[in-house]
Amino acid sequence: MKVRDEAYRYYFYFIQERMKIFWRRYEGSVSNLTEDPILAKHKFTNVYRAQDRVSQYLIRNVISEKERQFSDVDNLLRIIVFKIFNNINTWQYLERRLGEISIETFNVDLITALLDERIKGVAIFSPAYMMTGSHAKYNMYARKHEKWLRMVEKELLLGNGFERIVEAKSLEEVYNILLQCSFIGEFLAFQYAIDFNYSSVINFDENSFVKAGIGAIRGIKKCFSDIGSYTFEDCIKYTRDNFYHYQQRYVSLILKTFLDGHHN
């Protein structure tokens, strides 16, 4: 594979400056976080995935505070139900009406009826992910939310998908189990695998497996002029494995080229 040096160097500058902003915020700063006009003006995703507001709610309220009182399968069910909608208000609404979500309270007919009622006034899905609502196996159901809930019921609960995840030996195996589900493609399978990994049900090294999403692929195409027979995931691994080498190589160039305003 061949790195496109100018773009790769800018990528490392972006990483460095974003981390500086992160630590300045951590230390309590609220202004003058960066001299970079682009980073100062525009919003970007968090440095760490687990940092975003919805992930923090998942970790704290859906998982950490509750997981000891539930079985492993219950915990996986709770995570996937939360993540399908990825909407804190939807989760809180369901728990107010149903009680704490678990196998015992996971009644698809009832949940569908509750969401049919709620959807008349507010959005129940987050716009963060594009959630497909079309699959031949579930086209007899009218509402997208019921289709997803039926898939969870039939394929993960009754189809023992959750049990297979509990017994999985790697993050990649968890990903492949999820990928077999009707509505779950490559992107969501990886996202949900990482969400499951926030719990104590599974505990794999996040560096052990990755699946490049659309945004990552766009970035890779900018940073690499030729990847030959390598995969996009290989490019991510190459960057991780050689991170400190390139960081040291680019540090003086970053300060000279970018902080002097070359990128403005």
Where are the chain's structural domains?
52-208
Residue type, 4: R
The residue among 260 and 132 whose pLDDT is bigger is 132
Which residue in the block uniquely carries the two structure tokens 């492949």? 176
**SS3 assignment for 56-87:** HHHHHHHHHCCHHHCCHHHHHHHHHHHHHHCC
Segment (H or E) for 224 = strand 224-226
User: How is residue 113 written in tokens?
Assistant: 């009826």
Distance CA(34)–CA(22), nearest Å, equals: 10
User: How is residue 2 written in tokens?
Assistant: 């061949």
Q: What are phi and psi of 35, to 5 degrees?
A: -95, -5
Q: What is the average per-residue pLDDT within 135-146?
A: 88
Report residue 95 CA to chain centroid gap.
Answer: 23
On the question of pLDDT at 236 being above 70, the answer is yes
Distance CA(129)–CA(262), nearest Å, equals: 35
222-234 per-position pLDDT tens digit: 999 999 999 999 9
Residue 99 and residue 105 in contact, taking contact as beta carbons nearer than 8 Å? yes
Predicted local confidence at residue 257, as pLDDT = 57
On the question of pLDDT at 173 being above 90, the answer is yes
On the question of pLDDT at 32 being above 90, the answer is no
Among 71, 68, 112, CA closest to 94: 112
On the question of pLDDT at 256 being above 80, the answer is no
178-209 per-position pLDDT tens digit: 999 999 999 999 999 999 999 999 999 999 99
Distance in Å from the first CA to the final CA of the chain? 29
pTM score, two decimals?
0.89
Which residue in the block uniquely carries the two structure tokens 């766009």? 218
Q: What is the DSSP letter of 3?
A: E
Among 28, 21, 12, CA closest to 45: 21
Among 176, 166, 157, CA closest to 197: 166
49-66 per-position pLDDT tens digit: 999 999 999 999 999 988
67-89 per-position pLDDT tens digit: 899 999 999 999 999 999 999 99
Q: What is the average per-residue pLDDT within 9-15?
A: 92
Residue 101 and residue 112 in contact, taking contact as beta carbons nearer than 8 Å? no
